[in-house]
Amino acid sequence: MITTRIIATGACVPEQIITNDDLAKIVDTSDEWITQRTGIKERRISSGENTSDLAIGTARQLLEKAEVSAESIDLIIAASVTPDYTTPSLACMIQKEIGAVNAVAFDITAACSGFMYALSVADKYIRSGVYDNAIVIGAETLSKIVNWEDRSTCVLFGDGSGGAYVEKSEDCGIIQEELGSKGEIYDILTGGYTPCSNAFNDVESGVDSMWYVSMNGREVFRFATKSVVTSIRNVLEKAGVSADELKYIVPHQANSRIVEIVSNKLKIPFDKFYMNMDRFGNTSSASVPIALNELNEKGLIERGDKILLTGFGGGMTWGTMLITW
């Protein structure tokens, strides 16, 4: 049976580090307030790099680590809610800069679940025999849609990119997955709203206040702790795999308190959840691949290990994937 196997991982983040103390200089907050509520201590914030710069950096790493040529790439899928342009797609910009002249390239939008959705799409193309390989990237510069006067949101987010190069395989790879969405509550987490302003109506042009990230934190917290727990249970049950068999769970890096609740509800040891949100914050679609790459680069996972990836985000969406590394 053909499966989709992760061959290489990569990540690219801005050099600029913004600590909680730095934020306290521009908004009414403190390191203690942020750390206790989120587990975040610092985040990477662009000093001019756009989303494409970070995504292209990740793609180049993937080619080098996988030891494959750009011309051999069949498919490029990028997930982002903060691309450089509405069009062209971020994926097409990546294609040009790395020279993947034979690839099909397109973007998807599923917010913080974006990497999971993109990896799932690549998996279907590979399993069906349409393509043999793919580059899958989640990339964001959330700093450009954050209201830096809103302490309830600006303390949460960071910029960065992460990704994976995947190939068809006949042994290891993606075992089981679940994707889901609950559009009826889409309005609890929004950002990037563009009003319909043109020469034939009276809508004012310019940046609307709804351009910035807006979040009902309590409702997002409630959604996350319920959907992630249910999704993980479903995936493990469908795969016939117990939590004891998992080497690591790589969750969306949004809030350490969410992960604690998920751990308690599932009765899975907290130390099985790999987290780096203390250093990168919430990077939306980039958070899972950035954490996965760090786990991989540290040599904490080996071929044959079972890894669970899980994310949730705007839409509202969620995605969980069980992988044999």
pLDDT tens string 228-280: 999 999 999 999 999 999 999 999 999 999 999 999 999 999 999 999 999 99
State mean pLDDT over 110-126.
Answer: 97
Would you say residue 36 has pLDDT above 80? yes
Cα(260)–Cα(269) distance, integer angstroms: 9
Would you say residue 215 has pLDDT above 90? no
Left if phi > 0, otherwise alpha if psi is -120 to 50, otherwise beta: which for 284? left
What contacts 49, CB < 8 A, 6 or more positions away? 14, 141, 159
Lowest mean pLDDT among 66-70, 214-218, 239-243: 214-218
DSSP assignment, residue 206?
A: S
pLDDT for res 18: 97
pLDDT for res 172: 82
pLDDT for res 296: 96
Would you say residue 205 has pLDDT above 70? no
State mean pLDDT over 59-82.
Answer: 98
Would you say residue 209 has pLDDT above 70? yes
Would you say residue 123 has pLDDT above 90? yes
Cα(180)–Cα(295) distance, integer angstroms: 26
Q: Report which residue type is found at 154.
A: C
pLDDT tier at 74 (50, 70, 90 boundaries)? Answer: very high
Residue in 40, 15, 16, 43 with CA at minimum distance from that of residue 30: 40
pLDDT for res 214: 85
Q: Report which residue type is found at 3.
A: T
Query: What is the rounded end-to-end Cα distance, in angstroms, of the chain?
Result: 16
State mean pLDDT over 295-306.
Answer: 95
State mean pLDDT over 146-152.
Answer: 91
25-31-34-37 Cα dihedral, nearest 10 degrees: -160
pTM of the entire predicted model: 0.94
Would you say residue 212 has pLDDT above 90? no
Cα(87)–Cα(293) distance, integer angstroms: 28
Which residues are the active-site residues? 112, 252, 282
Q: Are 120 and 173 in contact (CB under 8 A)?
A: no
Cα(196)–Cα(198) distance, integer angstroms: 7
Mean pLDDT of the chain: 94
